[in-house]
Structure formats: structure tokens, C-alpha cells
Amino acid sequence: MTDHDPLALQLKLIEVLAEGSYLDVPRLAARTGMHSRRIYRLLEKFPRLGLPLEKSGHAYRLSPDAPFLLRVSEHLHFRPDELQTLAEVLESATDSSTPVRLLRDKLHRLRNDHVLVPDEADPRTGQNIRHIFEAIRQERTVVLKSYLSASGQNIVDRVVEPYLFLPGNRNVRCYEIQSGCNKTFNLARVESVELLDLNWSHRAQHDTDFVDLFHFAGASRTRVCLRLGYLSRSVLLDEHPRAAKYLTAEGNGKWRFEAEFCSMRGIGRFVMSMPADIEVIDSPELIDYLKKQVRTALDKWGATDESDS
């Protein structure tokens, strides 16, 4: 791109890159109306102008530490993942001092104005998240069009009242009209979201059940204790940053993890993914679940003798 191209297009590209999500060149072209070749040239030019870029695969975003942004911005700029982590830390804090309360309120207003779409979300899921965000803000009923069940066997429309995003904004708690139950829906399994011209009419039935680290909700809770190695601890923190407050260092590369869960399914899958790096401590309900899963696997595939290989 030459310096004679309209400044408005360059500013539009900067604006899109500054949103915080990684976007590849075709998506940048679609968002800005610019030719791909022009975008590539600008991506090479921006770092020399104080606009450093961060790259993930073939996707780009503007670094939040860009000197240009720091000079022209009078407020802190958070990436979506940073804002999500900050919100989770503040929501779990027991400090009720005035500064903490004011920071919670400020962050709440910021999150109400800007829905957080995970960087890895595809365009369809991102649009579903935005529509659900608007439905919650307006207290509207929606139709989850062509929702794919967890088993993958049923695809049906679900009429629901969405009221609570779970951490990461990929799952949402809703009151389902037909069943009269509160359920968690994965927005990646929704073809589209239709906002109806109907306000909530079942607010009293919206649950306030405990939601565990793996996004299972319920009134009953079961305490689980694990001893984690380096690998399992790293994976847990990468996928669930809130887990940090449940970890205690024991030394020798081991950490004690203790938390409450509504279901053994989430924590059970985690343990079974790295059994050599995880020790279950005094958690009979989890042990029973793991034994059942192992028996099911053996019945289905049979045991193998590695000595014969």
C-alpha cells in the first residue's frame, strides 16, 4: 500500500486490529473492505510506525503495548482474555474494601458494554455469543436454532431464557421453556440465535446453583482432592485460570488441588487425560467414577498387553 491511500482505510484497519482478537488477512479484508495485498503491505509497515503486531499462525492483532496506542489512549487497554481473567479474579476475591468494590463496578460496566468473544471462536460462534449477550442485557427470550445435543443424536430448536454466561463465554445458563428446567448450552453447537419479541416470564425459576470449574451446575457439591505434577498443573491453569486459587504448592514439583464439583464428569475427564501425572487423594466419589469409566473402556476395547508389542 502507498502513502496516498485514504487515511480512513488505514485507521479502520488499526481499529479492527486493536479489538484484541486474532484475525487472518481474509477476515481483515472482509472487515475493512481493503484488498489483501494492501493489508499485507500495511502489516509490514505498521511496526515501523510504532504499531507492533502479535501473530498467531496466520492471524494478527495489534499489541496492547503498542507505543502509538499508549500515547493516544488515556485508559488502560485490556485484551479480551486479560479482561476475562481480571473479572474472574475480582469476582472470587473476598476483599470488600471500597477500592475493590469500585473496581468491580467499573469492570462490570465495561463488560456490559463489550461482549467478550474468545479469540479462537469461529465467526458463527462469535455471532451467537453476541446475540446471547444482547438477549441477557435486554432480558429477552431466544430460539437456539438447530441445537446439537451433547450426544450428537438430536438437532432441534430450543426456546430459552438466557441469563448467565459461564467463564469464557462459550457456555450459557438458560431456562428452557419446554422442559421447565435450567440447563447449560454450548454456543458452538448452535446454528444461529433468534431473538424473540418476548421478555423473560420465568425469572423466578432462573437458578442460582453453584457452577464448578468445569462449568457443571447443581445444588449438590462433592469435594475432590488431587496431587498434580508440572504437566497437569500447567494444563489445568491454561484451560481454567480460576483453578489457581485452589492450588497449594507442596514442593518437589507437586501441587495439591482441592475444590468442589457438581459432577465427576469434568474433573474425571481431566484426571483420565493425564493419569501418570495425577494422584487422587481421599476422593471416593471420583475414584468410583474413574473405575466405572475404565470398566466401560475395557468392555468396549478389551485389555492390551504391551509386552507382546
What backbone phi and psi angles, to 5 degrees, belong to 248? -130, 125
Cell representation of residue 92: 472470587
> What value does the mean pLDDT take over residues 84-94?
64
Helix (H, G, I), strand (E, B) or coil at 184: strand
What backbone phi and psi angles, to 5 degrees, belong to 292? -65, -40
* 84 — pLDDT class (breaks 50, 70, 90): low
How far, in Å, CA of 277 to CA of 294, rounded? Answer: 17
| Predicted confidence (pLDDT) per residue in 62-76, tens digit | 886 666 665 554 444
Instruction: Count Cα neighbours of 50 within 13 Å in the Cβ-side half-sphere.
Output: 6
Cα torsion through 68, 74, 75, 80, rounded to 10: -30
Percent of the chain with pLDDT over 90: 38
| Predicted confidence (pLDDT) per residue in 98-151, tens digit | 666 767 666 665 555 456 666 677 888 888 988 998 888 888 999 999 999 877
The winner for highest mean pLDDT among 59-63, 140-144, 220-224 is 140-144
Residue 203 is given by DSSP the state G
Q: Decide if 264 contacts 286 (C-beta within 8 A).
A: yes
Residue 2, pLDDT above cutoff 50:
no
Residue 304, pLDDT above cutoff 70:
no
Q: Given the C-alpha cell 495489534, which residue does it identify?
A: 62
Residue 261: strand pairing partners: 222
Q: Decide if 189 contacts 148 (C-beta within 8 A).
A: yes
pLDDT at position 77, please? 46
pLDDT at position 154, please? 87
pTM (predicted TM-score): 0.47
54 closest CA partner among 21, 12, 13: 21
> What value does the mean pLDDT take over residues 239-249?
88
